[in-house]
Structure 1
């Protein structure tokens, strides 16, 4: 596992395409129970090196019903984005995650995390990559049909403040889906404590 951590830290695969240079932001442990797969770090996370260290992270922790301490405990959560480094900025915000990253690293990471109970797929890139043909035509449809993907996957919208419009248009998400999400998370974390993890 230490070798894998070092290999990821030293990764230069996309160096030529990264405006701020490589700084992979990923956390994992052999005992991680829940994996969070988002898009890629933003500039704030690139600067701090701490995943979800921004307004999106605060919103995500609220949806999950966990404290920052629980969230950053690698025994609970592994945080593995689709792209480990900040990809740069485009016209409408950050660029998509670099396509080289997930095929290079994700399979190796699954091999060292045998205890995963749930994978949170945050946003369209993670959902398309992992759900493949089972993903619906839109993110909204995929999230609305989240029960189809359980118990392995739980698809979610991105918790970015920019997504407020989506949340306003889809009040069912925070009313119906978030309580189910919190329950799933608490069940896994509670069982982990009882099992002595």
Structure 2
């Protein structure tokens, strides 16, 4: 199946992704894969999975987490939702539902089915933002360490990749305990984002 997908034209592959139902029986609100990408995308945002509001609107990071992420990146909503500049591929493409302590983890079927074949098509990515523990586990060589440890080691992956905490308001305590992140990392992030977007405008 992966070989067949790899041979599809880009637009057709994305249509296949958006029509995916492989874990429909496990999704309390049904499948609605939410991704954003184009062959020219310069920045890749890797989150966890869509939340309830994102599922309802069909727009990734259309919530307070997205507001903070855009602030961290130093970009407008218009730029953020321009797929020619920015791709968004969460670890799970559909809203997994809610558990006792918040949204459930991304469905485990999603990444093995789609991730590699999509990433191989994104040949112009200059920076990948890897957000939260599930994204760290997939994208970092030692990603199963704690989120804090991965983020503290951000220079190890820079400037091609940046491990990040989740921008959710639920992480306000983490940000208060780790003020170095917004003081040291965010200015470097904004500078790198600006460089890449300037290149894409040429």
What is the CA–CA distance in structure 1 between the aligned matches of 2:199 and 2:36, rounded to whole Å? Answer: 22
Distance of aligned partners of 1:136 and 1:89 in 2 relative to their CA distance in 1, 3 Å threshold: closer
Q: Secondary structure at the match of 1:36?
A: strand
Cross-structure match for 2:26? 17
Give 1:112 shift.
2.0
TM-score normalised by length of structure 1: 0.95
What is the CA–CA distance in structure 1 between the aligned matches of 2:124 and 2:57, rounded to whole Å? Answer: 28
Which residue, out of 2, 15, 21, partners 2:11? 2
1:138-153 equivalence runs, <5 A:
138-153=146-161
Cross-structure match for 2:4? none
- How many pairs does the alignment contain? 193
Which residue, out of 23, 42, 61, partners 2:51? 42
TM-score normalised by length of structure 2: 0.93
Cross-structure match for 1:188? 196
Cross-structure match for 2:115? 106
Q: Does 1:117 align with 2:126?
A: yes
Cross-structure match for 2:186? 178
Give 1:136 shift.
6.5
What is the CA–CA distance in structure 2 between the aligned matches of 1:72 and 1:28, rounded to whole Å? Answer: 10
State the superposition RMSD in angstroms.
Answer: 1.0
Deviations 1:124-171 (A, max 9, x none): 100111113x23631111111101012321111000011101111111
Deviations 1:44-87 (A, max 9, x none): 00000000000000000000000011111111110000000000
What is the CA–CA distance in structure 2 between the aligned matches of 1:129 and 1:43, rounded to whole Å? Answer: 23
What is the CA–CA distance in structure 1 between the aligned matches of 2:111 and 2:160, rounded to whole Å? Answer: 18
Gaps of 5+ in 2: 1-9
What is the CA–CA distance in structure 2 between the aligned matches of 1:6 and 1:137, rounded to whole Å? Answer: 35
What is the CA–CA distance in structure 2 between the aligned matches of 1:136 and 1:44, rounded to whole Å? Answer: 28
Cross-structure match for 1:164? 172
What is the CA–CA distance in structure 2 between the aligned matches of 1:56 and 1:120, rounded to whole Å? Answer: 14
What is the CA–CA distance in structure 2 between the aligned matches of 1:33 and 1:60, rounded to whole Å? Answer: 17
What is the CA–CA distance in structure 1 between the aligned matches of 2:14 and 2:153, rounded to whole Å? Answer: 35
Give 1:5 shift.
1.5
